[in-house]
Amino acid sequence: MSSEASIEFLRAEIAAGEHWYIATLKTMARWSLAEETVGERSYRYLIGGEAFDWLVLAERLLDEVGSAITPEDREELLFNGHPPLEIDDEEFQLLIGTPKYQAYLNFLYGVTVEEALHYAVEEEIAKEHHSYVWTSEDGEQDSPFRRIYGKSQNELLAQFYKERKREPAAELGLNDLKEFTYWLFKYRVRTADGARVASDTRKGLVALSRIEATHRGRRPPEPANFDSAIPA
């Protein structure tokens, strides 16, 4: 379905009385573009070709419905991750469709949880430095990147650009930062042993749950087997 047809579907659903949040999720199931540029804004919905950034698509769709959503509800969803309705993961999957749900899990574990893992390791390093009088000031040698991936951030960035066959950028934009984070996740999965991958992923999940403890956004479902949540 084209973007124009998807947006018309969204408007029709809302006009027929469907709640805007449910209508938005239904529209996501019909959306086919991986990225697009609207005016001066560049939207990238699919990270690394397989991770669905659903809140970016939600932002794009909600911009098309005007007064059907209040500014407060829009901000709560897009910036705080608070949906207006509580639905379980099974219903969420049913509404956006299984392919996009699998891609949503890829983003959840490959970007959101990976970012939380960085935060958790940064906390560990800060606590260690606080505990000792004599500490190294060499942040490059004692960084989350070294601890998690065994290489410096610059080394990892160089490898990322090489694999992507791209020239290094002066700085990463938001879309490229998400791409890099997802690449880091894939790098960790392919270079670390299974036990270390599971341990670090669980550390990220714990950190994310702690960060979201006071929120009611969509929390990451914790699979019984991490392999089922990790993209190949």
Residues 46-59 pLDDT 10s: 999 999 999 999 99
Residue-level pLDDT at 228: 47
- Please say if the pLDDT value at position 24 is more than 70: yes
- Please say if the pLDDT value at position 34 is more than 60: yes
Token pair 């998690």: residue? 148
User: Higher model confidence: residue 34 or residue 142?
Assistant: 34
Q: Which amino acid is at 130?
A: H
Percent of the chain exceeding pLDDT 90 equals 72
- Domain ranges for the chain, please list them: 3-96, 104-228
Residues 76-116 pLDDT 10s: 999 988 899 999 999 999 999 999 999 999 999 999 999 99
- Long-range contacts, 219-227 (Cβ 8 Å, 24+): 220/108, 220/109, 220/112, 220/113, 221/89, 221/105, 226/197, 226/198, 226/201, 226/202, 227/194
Residues 61-75 pLDDT 10s: 999 998 889 999 999
What residues have CB less than 8 Å from 20, skipping those under 6 apart? Answer: 14, 62, 65, 68, 69, 73
**C-alpha separations of 132 from 4, 119, 125, 126, 138 in Å:** 59, 21, 11, 10, 15
Pull the structure tokens for residue 97: 């469709």
Cβ atoms < 10 Å from Cβ of 7: 18
